[in-house]
Structure 1
Amino acid sequence: MSTTFTNAKIFRGTDATSFASAMTIDHGKVSWIGDQADVTDPAAIDLQGQTVLPGLIDCHTHPKYIADALHGVACTPPHVNSIAELIAALKASPAYGQGADVWIEGWGFDETKLAEHRAPTVDDLDQVSTTQPIFLYRSDCHSSVGNSKALALAGIDARTPDPVGGKIERFADGRPTGFMREVAATQLLIRAKSAQSYQTDVANLAQSSQHYLQNGIVAIGEMMGRLHPYDSLQLYRDAKAAGFQPRASLYYVYDELNGEDLAAGADDQLRIAGIKVFMDGSISGETADNQAPYPSGKRGVLLTDREKLAQAVAYAKDHHLQIAIHAMGDAAIQLVIDTTKDLTPWLSGTPSVRIEHASLLSDAMLAQIDQAQMTYGLATQPIFFFAEDESYRTYLNTQQFRLAYRLKAMLHTKALTALSSDAPCTPWYEPDSPFYSIYAAVTRRAANGQVVNADQAISVPEAVLGYTKWAAQLGQFTHNGSLSVGKAADFVILSDDIFTVPHEAIKDIRVQATWLAGQEVYRAD
């Protein structure tokens, strides 16, 4: 039951500078960590100088969506750059031609990156098939497009009213374009798609386990928990029984609870951790709630007003749950701060209020967060400016752009800052690779080569802490985050030394092996 590793470069995860060269694991936990000179075990495993990190944690992601995406089509650069290429990619889906009950799925398109500079429509998707339903997620996972068969299954036609908080886009004659703007509208298609077998969803989630392990991700925060059409907690329980291995914290969409009670769990292997509130949309979709209008004259959408937010906060406090609040625009973030800053925190050891994305933060906002009575967590995503630089430059004015993803400034507040992916909700073919996110956080360089606010770069150790110690604290994974005595023996062995390779090479690092509870669960071929 006891295994010792030696001749390694082990990042302890306790702070930015502490390393060890050997450790012993016993009964799934770290029992000793220190210097290889103190190792006497002749059976110790020689790691030949490889770099070891605590298991990585993606504290804001969408595993159910990723499970769907893994058998769907990536409609993202660098492979899909036009609607014609998107149509061809969907026709190449393994689901194509499999029968009228099989959905063809895709994800990741961003109209600003397509040659036509528009979103695909029902007419475009009907060129793929009119007999199979097609569901295509936009890059932000807020909006989507369906073909005529999908719209018919969802009961959407020219007479269907817009749902509260969403919009069914229409042609001039009133016919739906297939574009479902924002979560409330997208849910109309998802409910039709969810009519497929529950066991299929269980199997898809279980099969996604390997995807996380090969990225070194040992724990995830599921940010779209639902009670209907089935309980997400039950989905995860069944998926774990079928082989899903990462630890999981679930956050349920507050709008869909309808007053039903949730109880916080105590087991960080699988637990209900909080509720999720949507304040606004996305910057790339021109729906984030900003103080200034978009260059097109559009205003963002405010999905939750102050009264409703206060009700959600009270629900979280009464049920001893964390509240995770999606807020991308500066107006939406300011409303969150104004509503919560003077309240007394109700959780200890983790922030009571999480601001998800925190895309645009002014000095005044950061000062309010730092001086607030409330305890805040900032779950932010460098992969967004990496993959969506063109959208941010198009839709933000110069002053707003300077406020984008101010990682260094966040770390200088008392707020707990963690890095995450929001995968698959960004137009990149590897949306939840921790190494692309760390690369972006350290270099501030986007996929197109542009540099985004270079003064907000953070160090490699700080970025790694954003995926380990700080992510564990924010996601309430009490047994993870560092390689310390008594912590879970969850760790990853890297292909290269992330702390010494040229920064340009960080994004190319791969995981050689992932260990969970003292057992090797993944090894690269």
Structure 2
Amino acid sequence: MDWRIIMATFKNGKIFLGTNATAFASAMNIQDGLVTHVGETSEVTDPDAIDLHGKTVLPGFIDPHTHPKYIADALHGVACTPPNVNSIKDMVAALKKSPAYGKDATTWIEGWGFDETKLAEHRSPNRDDLDAVSTTQPIFIYRSDCHSSVGNSRALELAGIDATTPNPVGGLIGHFADGRPNGYMKEVAATQLLITAKSSQSYNTDVQNMVNSSPHYLENGIVGIGELMGRFRPYDSMRLYQDAVYDGFKPKTAIYYVFDELMPGQVVTPTSDDQLRIAGIKLFMDGSISGQTAYNKQPYPSGQSGVLLADADKLKRAVWYATEHHLQLAVHAMGDAAVQLIIDITADLTPWLTDRPSIRIEHATLLSDEMLREINRARMNYALITQPIFFFAEDESYRQFLSASQFKNAYRINSMLNTTAMMALSSDAPCTPWAEPDSPFVAIYAAVTRKAANGDVVNLDEAITVPEAVLAYTNTAARAGGFTLNGQLQPKFAGDFVVLNEDIFSVPKEELKNVHVDQTWIGGTKVYQRS
């Protein structure tokens, strides 16, 4: 898009500037893609000024931790989530209604979002279950946490997985009692075996799926995204995004490459383009609470404490790599033992980045009072990127798998907000069993009310206000993710904003999740209009 032709004036709005919780204006000017002035409607002399008719305007949302490639797949896949899918029988029926069902043997049938604790059978689907859908078409289904997955016989065949295939480092290939692989691929390293087989066959399809996903972000008001699963195999994620942007993909994107997939001697260099850039590397410390693989100080009811995917030495190597190459380090850590290890290793280190936090702790699900104090005392500059959609959608799993004391330390958003770290909200979409996993309004509702989808209240003392939640999805999300021109509506910042159907600052809290975007603008150009 050629910003040089864009000049626009807006008036009669309730424009939240994103600079603090109380800063508003009623008019603004945008030129060459940037805000040039904010003020009051009484100052406007432009006869062609666009009338906002009193609507509430926010800076465009930034989702700093999401998985756009997965979302692009999910949007043409089958939602294997409640309320429509509550059993493996339901899942089989839903997959048979996929638009991909019945096509040729190279067309994958895809699904996402199952959680075995929510299925009537209280187990994960297996290859035999999926073979009831098709044995000629490959089938791939993500578990709700996007760490684990299931494939049918044809998918396993294409991935070269049989009874003799060794477990990848950090992953587990499930087996039946007779030794056959059962299709369940536990954790990212194992799931990637199926993803590689799927993606290697359909690069052009992957590009088109990315382009087709662009309206999904715009209708949610999301103008910037952090791709937290950047890969070099079977192709470079940067190439995928470059081709998608060329064909019309609009959200600004920051890519974080998975550290474990770097080849010896491989150098990742940060880039600074506003539309598409390389921002950092991503390290997995552990798994998920709902999968009982987050690494915790107290064991799960099973007696296991989860999995530690990166020990102290690997974390130190990732820190060295990020420091050496001026990259941000994003570390996935849900369990308190995993978060503690990050703090222990990095708290006294000197930050190597000054424009944004050097280390992002992704999820930071379980935090004790002492851990919060350690973050405050640390020399390191941290960001805490957390996701209220998880306790909203997975309350039952958290209550089942965590002790009362652990549960009390879950998603301490208000406490995070009051540390020296930057606290930003994000979605981790589509990695949770909810049909709208990256709706900012569902996340804001959860952060403000602390209510789960089932009506349970989750640690009410950790609630934050609506302005605080909006800032965490705009200002802080942009700063933590290095979107330096976004997150605020003030001179020299991007003219990227959303117009809402309701005033998010005055609707009853129970209605927050029902607010939606009427318009999304990027650089002063309207790119989405709700029908």
Q: What TM bracket, shorter-length normalisation?
A: over 0.9
- The reply to whether residue 313 of structure 1 matches residue 315 of structure 2 is no
Give yes or no for contact 1:268–1:476 (8 Å, CA) kept in 2.
no
Q: 1:468 aligns with which of 462, 474, 478?
A: 474
- 1:42 CA displacement: 2.1
Question: Match of 2:3?
Answer: none
Secondary structure (helix, strand or coil) at the match of 1:277 reads strand
When normalised by structure 1's length, the TM-score is: 0.99
Which of 408, 413, 424 is the aligned partner of 2:419?
A: 413
Q: Secondary structure at the match of 1:318?
A: helix
Q: What residue is the counterpart of 2:200 in the other structure? A: 195
TM-aligned CA deviation for residue 267 of structure 1: 1.5
Alignment of 1:68-79 (within 5 A): 68-79=73-84
2:442/2:513 contact within 8 Å kept? yes
**Is residue 244 of structure 2 the alignment partner of residue 239 of structure 1?**
yes
Tell me, in whole angstroms, the C-alpha distance in 1 between the residues paired with 2:158 and 2:233: 18
Q: Is the contact between residue 53 and residue 493 of structure 1 (CA under 8 Å) also seen in structure 2?
A: yes
Give the alignment partner of residue 382 of structure 1, picking from 377, 388, 391.
Answer: 388
**Partner Cα distance (1:137, 1:30) in 2:** 41
The Cα shift of 1:268 comes to: 2.4
Instruction: Deviation per CA, 1:444-485: give whole Å up to 9, x if none.
Output: 000001000000000000000011000000110011010001
**Aligned-partner residue type, residue 375 of structure 2:** I
Kindly provide the CA deviation profile for residues 191-239 of structure 1, in whole angstroms up to 9, marking residues without a partner as x: 1111212111111111111110010000000000011111111111111
In the TM superposition, residue 298 of structure 1 has moved relative to its aligned partner by 2.2
Residue 186 of structure 1 aligns to which amino acid in structure 2?
A: T
Residue 15 of structure 2 corresponds to residue 17 of structure 1: no
SS in 1 for 2:164: coil
Of the structure 1 ranges 445-454 and 265-274, higher mean CA displacement relative to structure 2 is found in 265-274
2:179 counterpart residue number = 174
Taking the aligned partners of 1:309 and 1:44, their CA distance within structure 2 comes to 53
1:215 aligns with 2:230: no
- SS, match of residue 234 in structure 1: helix
**Aligned amino acid, residue 335 of structure 1:** L
Is 1:122 paired with 2:127?
A: yes
Secondary structure of 1:338's aligned partner: helix
User: Which residue does 1:165 correspond to in 2?
Assistant: 170
Q: CA deviation at 1:79?
A: 1.4
Deviations along 1:345-385, whole A, 9 cap, x unmatched? 00002100000000000011111111100000000000000
Confirm whether residue 270 of structure 1 aligns to residue 276 of structure 2.
Answer: yes
What is the SS of the residue equivalent to 1:208?
helix
Question: Equivalences for 1:442-521 in 2 at 5 Å?
Answer: 442-521=448-527
Q: Distance in 2 between matches of 1:17 and 1:66?
A: 34
Distance between the aligned counterparts of 2:492 and 2:181, measured in 1?
Answer: 57
- Cα distance in 2 for partners of 1:487, 1:428 equals 33
Distance in 2 of aligned mates of 1:197 and 1:177: 25
**Pairing partner for 2:146 from 141, 144, 153:** 141
Q: Which runs of 5+ in 2 are unaligned?
A: 1-5
What residue is the counterpart of 1:426 in the other structure?
432
Aligned twin of 2:397: 391
Taking structure 2 as the reference length, the TM-score comes to: 0.98
Distance (whole Å) between structure 2 residues aligned to residue 474 and residue 250 of structure 1: 14
Q: For residues 408-442 of structure 1, what are the alpha-carbon distances to aligned partners after superposition, in whole Å with 9 as ceiling and x for unaligned?
A: 00011010010000000000000010000000000
What corresponds to 2:262 in structure 1? 257
Q: Which residue of 2 aligns with 1:284?
A: 290
Which secondary structure state, in structure 1, belongs to the residue aligned with residue 253 of structure 2?
strand
Residue 188 of structure 1: how far off its partner (Å): 1.0
2:231 is the counterpart of 1:230: no
How far apart, in 1, do the equivalents of 2:46 and 2:195 lie?
55
- 2:36 aligns to what? 31
The CA RMSD measured in Å over matched residues stands at 0.8
What is the rounded CA distance, in whole Å, between the counterparts of 2:288 and 2:222 in structure 1?
A: 26
* C-alpha distance in 1 between matches for 2:497 and 2:201: 36
Q: For 2:361, what is the secondary structure of its paired residue?
A: strand
Residue equivalent to 2:446: 440
One-letter amino acid of the counterpart of residue 256, structure 1? E
One-letter identity of the residue aligned with 2:338: A
**Alignment partner of 1:339: what SS?**
helix
Q: Distance in 2 between matches of 1:7 and 1:78?
A: 41
**Which residue among 108, 112, 116 is the counterpart of 2:113?**
108
SS in 1 for 2:241: helix
Q: Distance in 2 between matches of 1:354 and 1:274?
A: 10
Instruction: State the shift of 1:77 in Å.
Output: 1.3
Residues 80-95 of structure 1: matches in 2 within 5 Å? 80-95=85-100
Stretch moving more, 321-330 or 22-31? 22-31
Task: Flag structure 1 segments of 5+ consecutive residues without an equivalent.
Answer: none
The answer to whether the Cα contact below 8 Å between 2:196 and 2:233 also exists between their aligned partners in 1 is no
Letter in 1 for 2:292: E
Give the aligned residue type for 2:235. Y
Q: Please state how far the C-alpha of 1:30 moved relative to its aligned partner.
A: 0.8
2:109 corresponds to 1:98: no
Q: Which residue of 2 aligns with 1:48?
A: 53
How many residues in Structure 1 have an aligned counterpart in Structure 2? Answer: 525
